[in-house]
């Protein structure tokens, strides 16, 4: 069974540019989550999808962040325009409906210069 995959693994962009991160969850997992870790800090929840619906986006930092999950499969997280403080590692996780265990992807390291 393939795990959660994320693309790209690294991204370096300039302040003001746009970046789109992609997450492919484990097949059949209805729940998809985005988390972010800023250097030296804890991994923080950003948002939660159930299929294509956003269930909880309380952790999204501001309206420069837009997450989508069209068709309830893969998800994208767009940052537009990127700011220096957006640098960090963005993790995606997925879980089966009704189950607590979340399976994490390897993360995308975003560096905004």
Partner 1 sequence: AQSVSQHNHHVILSEAASLELGCNYSYGGTVNLFWYVQYPGQHLQLLLKYFSGDPLVKGIKGFEAEFIKSKFSFNLRKPSVQWSDTAEYFCALYSGTYKYIFGTGTRLKVLA
Among 67, 90, 91, 94, binds partner 1 (CB under 8 A): 91
Considering the complex, state which of residue 57 and residue 68 has its C-beta at the smaller distance from partner 1.
Answer: 57
Peptide bond into 31 cis (omega under 30): no
Residues 6 or more apart whose CB falls under 8 angstroms from that of 56 comprise: 45, 47, 48
**Position among 33, 77, 86, 112 found at the interface with partner 1 (CB under 8 A):** 33
**Closer CB to partner 1, 70 or 100, in the complex:** 100
* Tokens at 30, concatenated: 């209805």
The answer to whether 69 contacts partner 1 (rule: CB under 8 A) is no
If one asks whether residue 43 binds partner 1 (CB under 8 A), the answer comes out as yes
Calculate the alpha carbon distances from 15 to 53, 93, 110 in Å.
30, 27, 12
Q: Are 77 and 90 in contact (CB under 8 A)?
A: yes
Binding site for partner 1 (CB under 8 A): 3-4, 31, 33, 35, 40-45, 48, 55-56, 59, 91, 100-106
């Amino acid at each position: 069974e393939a795990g959660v995959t994320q693309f790209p693994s690294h991204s370096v962009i300039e302040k003001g540019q746009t970046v789109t991160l992609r997450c492919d969850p484990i097949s059949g997992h209805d729940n998809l989550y985005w988390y972010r870790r800023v250097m030296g800090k804890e991994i923080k929840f950003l948002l939660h999808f159930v299929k294509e619906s956003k269930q909880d986006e309380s952790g999204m930092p501001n309206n420069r962040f837009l997450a989508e999950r069209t068709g309830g499969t893969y998800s994208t997280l767009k940052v537009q325009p990127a700011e220096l403080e957006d640098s960090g590692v963005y993790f995606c996780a997925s879980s089966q409906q009704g189950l607590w265990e979340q399976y994490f992807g390897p993360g995308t390291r975003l560096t905004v210069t």
